[in-house]
Amino acid sequence: MSKKQKKVLWRILIAAALLVLLLLLPLTGWLRFALFLIPYFVIGYDILIKAFKGIVNRQPFDENFLMAVATVGAIALGEYTEGVAVMLFYQIGELFQSYAVGRSRRSIAALMDIRPDSANLLGEDGEITAVDPDEVEIGSIIVVRPGEKIPIDGVVVSGDSSLDTAALTGESIPREVRAGSEVISGCINLSAPLQIRTGREFGESTVSKILDLVENATSRKSKSENFISRFARVYTPAVCYSALALALLPPLVNLLLGRGADFTVWLYRALTFLVISCPCALVISIPLGFFAGIGGASAQGILIKGSNFMETLADVRTIVMDKTGTLTRGSFEVSGVHHASLEDKQLLELAAHAEALSTHPISRSLIRAYGSEPDGTRVTDVREISGQGVIARVDGREVAVGNAKLMRAVGVEPIDCRSVGTVVHVAIDGAYAGHILISDVIKDGAREAIDALHEAGVTKTVMLTGDIRAVGEDVAKRLGIDQVKSELLPADKVEAVEALLAESQKGETLAFVGDGINDAPVLSRADVGIAMGALGSDAAIEAADVVLMDDDPRKIAKAIRISRKCLRIVRENIWFAIGVKLLCLALGALGLAGMWAAIFADVGVMVLAVLNALRALNTSRL
């Protein structure tokens, strides 16, 4: 408990003890009044001050105002006990609420406990000093001992170990690393010390990016949250005026009918009405529900950038996916070299050099097949044409590496390949030089992932690819995908998504899932853009609304299920809180529920709603 919370707790205990004491004493008249004011001020002075400030600032209609008017009114009517008790319970409710919010914030912080405290910098002399991660420069060597968190992204220079990536990806199987492996910050080193050459500054490292993202997630408000704040703005004044009407109209009618006016009875009912109407349960439990949902999702390696995206995810009916890197591993194997006008080895060498600077999965694979690092000094004038390939000068010769579109763009007629697979054509100095046939592997769990999507209520799955038709259709058929569009340029992908958006019904949303390599425009065009396997890819983390930390396609359906559960909880809370309120308001107006019942209902609803909201944290079995 914080200091502030402890102070409120003390005030509650003192006021409660005083109240009990006063109830036991046989007091009457002015003395009774004066003595009851003591516990009243002990427990309520801050509320009274806030209410007064609200009136001075001409923004009176808030909870403090409701409580102040109701309790002052009760005391004026001689209902001292009730006046004090209402304040007391209100404060108990507030305390519980701030405690619950603090707890859930802390448990989310614990889930996201990836912030390193220090980095062990290895000096020239072999001396190790612990420094603030912020002070480590790019290219420094840091030492991470077993049990420690990797503070900064980099590459292992020595050591063989395994890493626990669970905090980042929710994946419990450790990842093996050795010299040369890229490692990302936030993972825990498990078995042996590692020396790592840092590749980024701390502020640019994965941990910092993720923490920023989670911390800012709650600033993007969902429709339900906006609804509640708009609701509270009209609701409280409406309740105040209704209370005024309840206090004045029935007595006036009674007077006109020649009966007793019963002013005090109706005034008391009006005050009860004010107590009941306090909207605390709604105001607190809805943001808390989203907060818990976002926290629960991040424990599974699913980062959702705002509660608005949770809402959109929950309504997803169409999922559009990129092929390479999303459904397939994006790690191609060279399965043949055909029609080459030079030695196979030479063709591969030129292609690998032309691709030296590209980050596309195809380029990585060609370089791997070539077998050694390309020599950068042999390459000049590199141009990468998104969705087509690369053109570069290697040893002074113009080498074009890419698909048939690229060949035609450089004025070369490509020769078709009869085998199924992705074909990488190569042209040298404007003459066709042959093609390299490469094939990709479908990811483990991709088929399951598509089935899980259909089960989660997605009605249409679409795959977009820049690859040739034969490959696209083959993959789609094996995975059970409903629609496939092949041979698309990045701009065509945007158009395809726009066409699908135009087709989708109101209230249904479309998600695009990509690996973040050249799909940023589509990611931002979809209702919700999901980037997958985004660890270490900044562009994707920035462009996407939802980031899946590892590249398991099953996480897509999981993200949808988590969002659905969270929204269900939020809606339950809205209906439950509004329902109980309306019931109590009716009972209060009819004089069937007194102020005691009112405050119990209020605090009770709030406690239940908060407990319900915290259920959204629990995502492990979804």
Query: Which residues make up the interface to ligand ADP (CB under 6 A)?
Result: 322-324, 355, 358, 360, 362-363, 387-390, 401-403, 422, 424, 465-467, 490, 518
Contacts for 514 with CB less than 8 Å, ≥ 6 apart? 321, 322, 325, 326, 522, 523, 529, 530, 531, 532, 540
Q: Please work out, in degrees rounded to the nearest 5, the angle formed at the alpha carbon of residue 151 by the alpha carbons of 145 and 153.
A: 110
In the numeric block, the tokens 């390949």 are attached to 417
Region from 270-278, 323-331, 504-512, 563-571 binding Mg ion, contact rule CB under 5 A: 323-331
**By 3-state DSSP, what share of the chain in percent is helix, strand and coil, each rounded to 5?**
55, 20, 30
Which of 164, 315, 322, 519 is an active site residue?
322
Closest approach of ligand ADP to the CB of residue 422, in Å: 5
Looking at the Cβ atoms of 424 and 601, the one nearer to ligand ADP is 424
Helix, strand or coil, per DSSP, at residue 510: strand
Closest approach of Mg ion to the CB of residue 371, in Å: 25
Residue 482 CA to chain centroid, in angstroms? 28
Helix, strand or coil, per DSSP, at residue 591: coil
Closest approach of ligand ADP to the CB of residue 420, in Å: 13
Looking at the Cβ atoms of 164 and 322, the one nearer to ligand ADP is 322
CA distance 556 to 446: 11
Longest dimension (CA), the chain: 113
Closest approach of Mg ion to the CB of residue 518, in Å: 6
What residue 465 binds from ligand ADP, Mg ion, none (CB within 5 to 8 A, per partner kind)? ligand ADP
Looking at the Cβ atoms of 168 and 352, the one nearer to ligand ADP is 352
Handedness of CA 398, 402, 408, 414 (dihedral sign): positive
What residue 360 binds from ligand ADP, Mg ion, none (CB within 5 to 8 A, per partner kind)? ligand ADP
Looking at the Cβ atoms of 84 and 468, the one nearer to ligand ADP is 468
> For every residue of 250-303, which 3-state class applies, written as one string?
HHHHHHHCCCCCCHHHHHHHHHHHHHHHCCHHHHHHHHHHHHHHHHHHHCCCEE
- Residue 401: HSE in the Cβ half-sphere, 13 Å Cα cutoff: 28
Closest approach of Mg ion to the CB of residue 372, in Å: 26
Closest approach of Mg ion to the CB of residue 361, in Å: 8
- Binding-site size, Mg ion (CB under 5 A): 2
Q: Identify residue 177 by its one-letter amino acid code.
A: V
Interface with Mg ion, residue 198, by CB under 5 A: no
Closest approach of ligand ADP to the CB of residue 330, in Å: 8
Closest approach of ligand ADP to the CB of residue 397, in Å: 17
Interface with Mg ion, residue 358, by CB under 5 A: no
Closest approach of Mg ion to the CB of residue 381, in Å: 24
Where b means 16+ CB within 10 Å and e means fewer, 162-188 reads bbbbbbbbbbeebbebeeebebbbbbb
Closest approach of Mg ion to the CB of residue 488, in Å: 10
Contact flags string 275-314 toward Mg ion, x per CB under 5 A: ----------------------------------------
What residue 189 binds from Mg ion, ligand ADP, none (CB within 5 to 8 A, per partner kind)? none
Q: 578 forms bridges with which residues in the sheet? A: none
What residue 509 binds from Mg ion, ligand ADP, none (CB within 5 to 8 A, per partner kind)? none
Looking at the Cβ atoms of 240 and 464, the one nearer to ligand ADP is 464
Region from 46-54, 235-243, 320-328, 502-510 binding Mg ion, contact rule CB under 5 A: 320-328
Contacts for 106 with CB less than 8 Å, ≥ 6 apart? none
CA distance 530 to 516: 9
Q: 338 forms bridges with which residues in the sheet? A: 435
What residue 161 binds from Mg ion, ligand ADP, none (CB within 5 to 8 A, per partner kind)? none
Looking at the Cβ atoms of 279 and 533, the one nearer to Mg ion is 533
Length of the chain in residues, anyone?
Answer: 622
Looking at the Cβ atoms of 390 and 532, the one nearer to ligand ADP is 390
Looking at the Cβ atoms of 402 and 533, the one nearer to ligand ADP is 402
Q: In what order do the strands lie in the sheet with 141-144?
A: 128-131, 119-122, 141-144, 194-198, 154-158, 182-183
Compute CA distances 98 → 1, 288, 607, whole Å: 10, 11, 11
What residue 275 binds from ligand ADP, Mg ion, none (CB within 5 to 8 A, per partner kind)? none
Looking at the Cβ atoms of 39 and 387, the one nearer to ligand ADP is 387
What residue 208 binds from ligand ADP, Mg ion, none (CB within 5 to 8 A, per partner kind)? none
Q: Which residue is closest to ligand ADP by CB? A: 466
Phi, psi at residue 561, to the nearest 5°? -65, -40
- Which pairing describes strands 509-514 and 528-532: parallel, antiparallel, or unpaired? parallel
429-458 residues in contact with Mg ion (CB under 5 A) are: none
Looking at the Cβ atoms of 315 and 552, the one nearer to ligand ADP is 552
Closest approach of ligand ADP to the CB of residue 237, in Å: 55
Number of Cβ atoms within 10 Å of the Cβ of 600? 14
Q: Decide if 388 contacts 358 (C-beta within 8 A).
A: no
Helix, strand or coil, per DSSP, at residue 103: helix
Among 34, 80, 107, 546, which Cα is nearest to 313's? Answer: 546
Q: Decide if 383 contacts 414 (C-beta within 8 A).
A: no
322 is catalytic: yes
Q: In what order do the strands lie in the sheet with 431-439?
A: 333-338, 431-439, 422-428, 397-402, 389-394, 379-385
Written as one string, the DSSP assignment of 17-45 is: HHHHHHHHS---HHHHHHHHHHHHHHHHH
Helix, strand or coil, per DSSP, at residue 315: coil
Looking at the Cβ atoms of 326 and 573, the one nearer to ligand ADP is 326
What residue 424 binds from Mg ion, ligand ADP, none (CB within 5 to 8 A, per partner kind)? ligand ADP
Contacting Mg ion (CB under 5 A), which of 161, 300, 324, 619? 324
Region from 111-119, 258-266, 316-324, 344-352 binding Mg ion, contact rule CB under 5 A: 316-324
What residue 434 binds from ligand ADP, Mg ion, none (CB within 5 to 8 A, per partner kind)? none
CA distance 331 to 360: 10
What residue 365 binds from Mg ion, ligand ADP, none (CB within 5 to 8 A, per partner kind)? none
State the residues that interact with Mg ion by CB under 5 A: 322, 324
- Which residues are marked as active site? 322
